[in-house]
Amino acid sequence: MNASHHPSDDLLWSYAAGSLDEPSSILIATHQSLCPACRAIVAKAESLGGELFEDLASEDIEAGSLAAVLARLDDIEDSSSIAAETIDDEAENISVPRPLKDYLPASVPSLPWRWLGPGVRYTAINTEARGPKIGLLRIAPGTKVPMHGHSGNEMTMVLAGGFTDATGSYQRGDVEAADGGLVHQPVADAGEECLCLVVTEGELQPTGMIAKILQPFFRF
Ligand SMILES: [Zn+2]
């Protein structure tokens, strides 16, 4: 099943250029391991980036060369689909794709899960760099996560199960990008626990009364 909610092109190109922070890179790497469409965009960006670098090193880029660059982009389209096929697709059959698995010290059930609230557990993933926090969230089937806003950007990627909020329904591989303005109440789909990879820049900000009572639990 292909993902239907993808990271923005900006994020994919930043990832390809190596300019994303480590937690965001882990999420994008994990997403593209499940998403052939984004894998192709990253491959294209990497090829184009490499070619531009060579051009810069060997010649001045003239005004009007944008058309040439765009024409080249079309050429790269073909080679990127070949590159995508060489990636091991077995990752698609296991619950934790390899780019993420490398960061986990144990199997998912054996990680040090912290109770955040009824039906919600969280475990932090340690990265070396400073920056946004990254961790895994387990939400019991049918659980409503209290309504909350965000003081910074948040990216959530579904690894198992699914959830729905006002912006849509998210299944394995899907990425929801929330900016500081989004206030939402995700509800885990019935029937299966929802496992998500979450990258958060700021504190979550509870908005409802119950969420305010639960506020301590949102301090990842
Ligand atoms: Zn994608």
Ligand 1 centroid to 33 CA: how many Å? 9
**Can you give the pLDDT at residue 202?**
66
Ligand 1 centroid to 102 CA: how many Å? 21
First vs last C-alpha separation in the chain: 31
The CATH 1.10.10 domain(s) of the chain lie at 9-93
Ligand 1 centroid to 140 CA: how many Å? 25
**Can you give the pLDDT at residue 199?**
93
**Can you give the pLDDT at residue 154?**
87
- Can you name the CATH fold of 98-218? Jelly Rolls (2.60.120)
Residue 171 to residues 32, 149, 165, 188, Cα–Cα distance (Å): 15, 21, 12, 10
- Taking the C-alpha atoms of residue 90 and residue 93, their distance in angstroms, rounded to an integer, is 6
Note residues around ion ligand 1 (Cβ under 5 angstroms): 3, 6, 35, 38
pTM: 0.74
Ligand 1 centroid to 58 CA: how many Å? 34
Ligand 1 centroid to 77 CA: how many Å? 16
**Can you give the pLDDT at residue 206?**
58
Q: Which CATH class is domain 9-93?
A: mainly alpha
Local confidence pLDDT in tens for the 220 residues of the chain: 678 999 999 999 999 999 999 999 999 999 999 999 999 999 999 888 777 766 666 655 555 555 565 555 555 444 444 333 333 333 333 478 889 998 999 989 899 999 888 899 999 998 877 778 999 999 999 998 877 777 778 899 999 999 999 889 999 999 999 877 777 888 999 999 999 999 988 665 655 555 555 555 555 4
Ligand 1 centroid to 217 CA: how many Å? 31
